[in-house]
Amino acid sequence: FFNSPFSTSQQTLPAEVRKDGTSILDIGNQEAGNRPVKTFSLTAQEKAWQISADKSVSAWTYNGTVPGEPLRVTEGDFVKVHLKNELSVPVTIHWHGVILPNQMDGVPGLTQDAVQPGESFTYEFMANDAGTYWYHSHQHSSKQVDKGLYGSLVIEEKEPAYQQDQTYILDEWAVNQDKQNTTNMGGMMMGSMSRDGEADTKQMYDTFTVNGKSGEAIDPLQLEAGETARLRFINAGYQQHRLVFPEGSMEVIAADGEKVVNEGPSSNMLEIAPGERIDVAFTKQREEAEIIGEDPQIKNAQDMRIPVVSGEEAESFAYNQLSVSSASSKETGTSSGSEDLLFKETPETDVSYHMDLSMGMDMGEGMSFQINNKVFPNTPLIPVSEGDVVKVRITNSGRLNHPMHLHGHRFQVASKNGEAYENPIVKDLINVKPDEEYTVYFKADNRGEWLFHCHDNNHADRGMITIVDYQ
Ligand code: C2O
Ligand code: CU
């Protein structure tokens, strides 16, 4: 039951996908041929990973570190990534948020066979849209991403607007309880049994990390007073995080890779759901060291603190004296919309789908997470034809948050709880909280079979998945 719904499926690969070495270039893609090629090798391997001075875990990594090797390319590049699997379990790489051909999407049993121990696979795609992305295994994600099989992918603009540009991947670990074996089941049991739902699913995690490091082990950001840096946050974990910045220091500039326009002042609090990416422009307010840190109301908050120091202080700042500001009440994002919309106004729709999210019990198997009362692969598909405008109304009748993520496309979030947004936002993940309702629209313009699933990977592996299926 703990295996991915896809892990046993053996599907024949389409002819144009090669297991290794040969490329889309070879098969005559003219567009690719004229572009700069950026090549990377990622080896999935087991490594002892030091989270802080006194905590280490046995991690599964891409190239020996957590997160895996950070990938940076420039918009317009043609990207080739050779994956080699040195683990004892099959893996893949999913390019979260990247619009690419279906065969490169890294979903085992759906878009490719999982890459078996000792085997390799080459991923190829065009880095067309600048922004923040990430990559992770999509094989048995609730375990493999949890154990460290993830990394960042940044597609830089041709002319970057900020002198400093940093990526921060957030995660949680259950170091004390041998996370590797017990976390998922334990967390799930507690979550399912508790009355107040989400709070309890977090009890298993005793350690938070930023870029694989916790507390004082987190690298300080070096910035002079008055300087502005682009900070790209990615949530690779299971829980929503709330980062608090010094008052007036930050502005959200992108969400899920799409540029955001701000109307009115920004909050100093950034809420980021599992799977989500949010970029901010951060300006250091004072000469003295400052801190960006998890809302102190969240358990283990002290682990997730990024010191911001200027040149002289870098060696000598008093870490323990830095305190996180208090969060201002305004939520981020409420008045911000995307710069580029998919639809200028409410479109005529060709396909309408109501997606209701809930929790249930499966005979003999414990908790399940459902779409329209069904568990994947029995969830109703979203059947589309190329060119269709698809409307999905998402409701949450359960007690937990469900960050719903669509592969291969972006959607426009048009309304929340029945009220149209004045400034719609274009994303590929929307965190649907209990009793909330969102309406999203997307254009079916990328052929293939694409997952639409909860990015709490425990929920996905326990059924909360459907497929956008091109007829
Ligand atoms: Cu981060 Cu199915 O994806
Ligand atoms: Cu969920």
Give 4-17 pLDDT, tens digit per residue.
444 333 333 333 44
* 72-86, 362-376, 448-462: least confidently modelled range: 362-376
Is 205 a domain residue? yes
Q: Which residue minimizes the CA distance to atom 3 of ligand 1?
A: 96
What predicted TM-score, i.e. pTM, was given to this entire model? Answer: 0.90
Q: Are residues 123 and 185 in the same domain?
A: no
For residue 394, the ligand closest to its alpha carbon is 2
Tell whether 301 is covered by a domain: yes
Residue 344, domain member (yes or no): no
Claim to verify: residue 117 and residue 197 sit in the same structural domain: no
Q: Does residue 177 share a domain with residue 89?
A: no
| 128 and 201 together in one domain | no
Residue by residue, DSSP assigns 313-345 as: GGGT--GGG--PPPPPSSPTTTT-EESS-S-SS
Number of structural domains in the chain = 3
- Residue 31: band (very low, low, confident or very high) from pLDDT cuts 50, 70, 90: low
Q: Which of 314, 338, 362 is the last residue of a domain?
A: 338
Counting ligands in written order, which one lies closest to the CA of residue 452?
1
Cβ(179) to ligand 1 under 6 A? no
Which atom of ligand 1 is closest in space to residue 96's alpha carbon? 1
Could you tell me if 57 and 134 lie in one domain?
Answer: yes
Q: Is the CB of 453 under 6 A from ligand 1?
A: yes
Q: What is the CATH number of the domain that holds 236?
A: 2.60.40.420
Provide Rg for the chain, Cα atoms. 21
Q: Reading across the β-sheet that carries 411-416, which strands appear in turn?
A: 366-371, 351-362, 389-396, 437-443, 411-416, 419-427
* Domain match, 255 and 363 both: no
Distance CA 123, CA 20 (A): 9
First to last CA, the chain: 30
pLDDT at 240: 95
Domain contains 310: yes
User: Chain-centre distance of CA 221, in angstroms?
Assistant: 22
Are residues 264 and 357 both part of a single domain?
Answer: no
Q: 338, 368, 394: which is the final residue of a domain? A: 338
Assess whether 181 and 108 both reside in one domain.
no
Q: What phi and psi values does residue 202 have, to the nearest 5 degrees?
A: -90, -5
Confidence of residue 252 (pLDDT cuts 50, 70, 90): very high
Are 109 and 67 a contacting pair, CB within 8 Å? Answer: no
For residues 427-443, b (16+ Cβ closer than 10 Å) or e, as one string? bbbbbbbeebbbbbbbb
Q: Are residues 175 and 284 in the same domain?
A: yes
Ligand 1 atom at minimal distance to the Cα of residue 453:
2
Domain of 394? 351-470
Does 277 contact ligand 1 (Cβ within 6 A)? no
Q: Which residue, 289, 414, 447, 244, is CA-closest to 346?
A: 414
Buried b (16+ CB within 10 A) or exposed e, 348-385: eeebebebebbbeeeeeeebbbbbeeebbeebeebebe
User: Considering the domain boundaries, does residue 13 fall inside one?
Assistant: no
Q: How far is CA 140 from CA 3, 90, 117, 430, 450, in A?
A: 6, 9, 15, 22, 17
Using DSSP's 3-state secondary structure scheme, residue 251 falls into strand
Asked if 380 and 408 sit in the same domain, the reply is yes
Section 235-260 average pLDDT: 95
pLDDT digits (tens, 9 = 90+) for 212-225: 999 999 999 999 99
**Does residue 391 lie in a domain region?**
yes
Same domain, yes or no: 321 and 431: no
d(CA 26, ligand 2 centre) in Å: 40
| ipTM tops the 0.95 cut | yes
- Say what the pLDDT of residue 267 is: 86
- The residue from 158, 193, 212 where one domain ends is 158
Same domain, 180 and 200: yes
Is 1 among the domain residues?
no
50 found inside a domain: yes
Q: Please name which ligand lies nearest the alpha carbon of 456.
A: 2
